[in-house]
Copies of this chain bind each other. A is one copy, B any other.
Amino acid sequence: MSVLGRLSLNQATVRPLSVADAAALCVRHEIPAIGLWREQVADAGLDAAAKTVRSAGLRVSSLCRGGFFTHADAGARRAAIADNKAAIAEASALGAGTLVLVSGGLVPGSRDIGLARRMIADAIGELVPVAHAHGVRLGIEALHPMFAADRCVITRLGEALDLALEFPADAAGVVVDTYHLWWDAALLADIARAGERIVSYQVCDWILPLPADTLLGRGHVGDGHIDFPPITAAVAAAGYTGDIEVEIFNETVWSAPPDETAARLRATFPGVF
């Protein structure tokens, strides 16, 4: 199989597009897989979205995203659990084997990062049986430490993996995202240790300067500072053979014509290997 057979378009890369338009884009550009987002799936309607991607012959490499477990109020924590259960059911309906989790930052009003971490572990513990029952794996994602306070206190692959290892492998795994993890001296060792726990591999590049909104500073593969081949080789050596999502949050990319973006993904994707 050509490497392009593993390319997946994460919908965040073409955020303005509906599920139908993103799926059609994949078909036009022979991109065989798509990573869906709940917001766009909800806009389309779950059943219609599932039908659209199935009819298009696309694999669904992941559903983004669950998480955001850290709340001061018990009612808000319960609501997050309920919402994540719904997300698991949606992933199952869409044929996505993985639900990506962005677990949440510090608990509002608190500086206790350990409390946030324990809250996340407890929440995942509640979700694991549900994920198991639906045949969906929870993909615990470590985010770049610059998001630790407000989005995700899990900041390293090793930390995500230690958490995943508390649960059965068929329900809990980790996401390897180059943007979030490339700087970590322990990354390759942690990928090796993760082995079959890797449930998603997402790529985009680290570009400078960071924009005012650091959420939107991601670049096309090859535009930035990340050395992809050693990371991809480690992910492969760990046993991951699944789709590789290109996920680029960037307003310039969002305002580009989607066909240009898709063509660019195909052209740059070999640089991942």
Contacts and interface: CB of A to CB of B under 8 A. Distances in A.
Contacts of A150: 208
A226 interface: yes
The SS class assigned to the A binding surface is: loop
A218 interface: no
A133 interface: no
Interface string A102-143: 000010000111000100000000000000000000000000
Contact of A149 (B146, B206, B211, B214): B206
Nearest to A153: B183
Contacts of A185: 113, 117, 154-156, 159
A47 interface: no
Nearest to A205: B111
Instruction: Bin the interface of chain A by size.
Output: 20 to 34
Interface string A184-210: 110000000000000000000010101
Contacts of A226: 111
A184 B149 CA distance: 12
Interface in A224-249: 224-227
A191 B246 CA distance: 37
Given A145-B145, A145-B183, 20 more contacts: A113-B183, A113-B185, A113-B227, A144-B145, A145-B146, A146-B146, A146-B210, A146-B214, A148-B182, A148-B183, A149-B183, A149-B206, A149-B208, A149-B225, A153-B183, A155-B184, A159-B185, A210-B210, A210-B214, A211-B212
